[in-house]
Amino acid sequence: MQRQKESGVMQAVEWVIRVMAENAVENEDYFSDLDAVVGDGDFGHSLARGFEAVLETLDESNEQSPGALLRKIGMVLMAKVGGTSGPIWGTAFMRAGSVAGEKNELTDADVIAMLHAGIDGICERGGASIGDKTLLDALIPATTTLGARLSRGEEWDRALAATAIAARTAADATRDLIARRGRASYTGERSLGTLDAGAVAVASMFERLAERWPLEGK
């Protein structure tokens, strides 16, 4: 993130959240259709309603630090996203915000630490781990790839492009997994051959970020 310093770290964090939110809203039907195969079909709807509230929050927000903003977004998602997704996505944002603290500048290492904190929060909140056919199956490989690329000194555009590919590849690989968490786990082996909606959502968000980076118009 220090390479976007001229635009301001706060502006960069707001932009990333906005891109993620817009992607969730635009893909409401697609994510719900994926979820309907083995779940209750409301994932896309719930996520879209939550991120609509996030967009409203961004328009009205007066938080002075990335950490404070992320914690606020986490609370909004917990309150507005239905089912188990609200606590999971909300916890991820709140944990990331806690790591950011009140810093006004974030290094690449800070960003990766924030992502890892979000992953840890999801694991603790949902009791899931990689291989359980959840959003973690895309988020963990994506974070690993981003961390490795940035640690080698790659610029964010190249690192994000590689991360998006890793996330999509991992999301596609959930076809070969049996769901072990969430409503889809009730279907057992019938979940084989289906994509996990959460993993696909994560991949889609990273792809959108990679397509639109750097902060266009900023």
Report the CATH number at residue 171. Answer: 1.25.40.340
The stretch 150-174 carries a mean pLDDT of 97
Mean pLDDT of 3-18: 77
Answer whether residue 151 shows pLDDT above 60: yes
**Domain residue limits at 55:** 8-212
CA quadruple 100, 210, 161, 85: dihedral sign: positive
Percent of the chain past pLDDT 90, that is, above it, reads 73
Q: Would 89 be classed as within a structural domain?
A: yes
Q: Is residue 2 part of a domain?
A: no
Q: Which amino acid is at 148?
A: A
Specify if 32 maps to a domain.
yes
Contacts of 165 (CB under 8 A, 6+ apart): none
Does pLDDT of 218 surpass 60?
no
pLDDT of residue 128: 85
Question: What rounded mean pLDDT belongs to the chain?
Answer: 89
First-to-last CA distance in the chain?
14
Chain segment 201-210, per-residue pLDDT in tens: 999 999 999 9
203 belongs to a structural domain: yes
pLDDT: which is higher, 160 or 41: 160
The yes-or-no verdict on residue 181 having pLDDT over 60 is yes
Q: What is the pLDDT of residues 91-149, one digit of tens each?
A: 999 999 999 999 999 999 999 999 999 999 999 988 888 888 999 999 999 999 999 99
- Provide the 8-state DSSP code for 104: S
**Buried (b) or exposed (e) across 20-55, using 16+ Cβ within 10 A?**
bbbbbbebbeebbebbebbbebbbbbbbbbbbbbbb
Evaluate whether residue 218 is within a structural domain: no
Interatomic CA distance for residues 218 and 213, integer angstroms: 11
Asked, for residue 202, whether it belongs to a domain, the answer is yes
| 59 pLDDT more than 50 | yes
| pLDDT at 183 exceeding the cut of 70 | no
According to the model, what pLDDT value does residue 176 have?
A: 86
Q: Is the pLDDT of residue 1 over 70?
A: no
Tell me the mean pLDDT in the region 81-87.
Answer: 87
- Number of domains into which the chain is organized: 1
- Structural contact between residues 73 and 16, judged by C-beta atoms closer than 8 angstroms: no
Cβ atoms 2, 105 nearer than 8 A:
yes
What's the confidence (pLDDT) of residue 84? Answer: 83
Mean pLDDT, to the nearest integer, of 49-73?
Answer: 95
pLDDT exceeds cutoff 70 at 190: no
pLDDT the model gives residue 114: 98
Asked if residue 49 belongs to a domain, the reply is yes
pLDDT of residue 187: 53
Which pLDDT value is given to residue 73? 98
Q: Domain for residue 1, yes or no?
A: no
**pLDDT at site 5:** 39
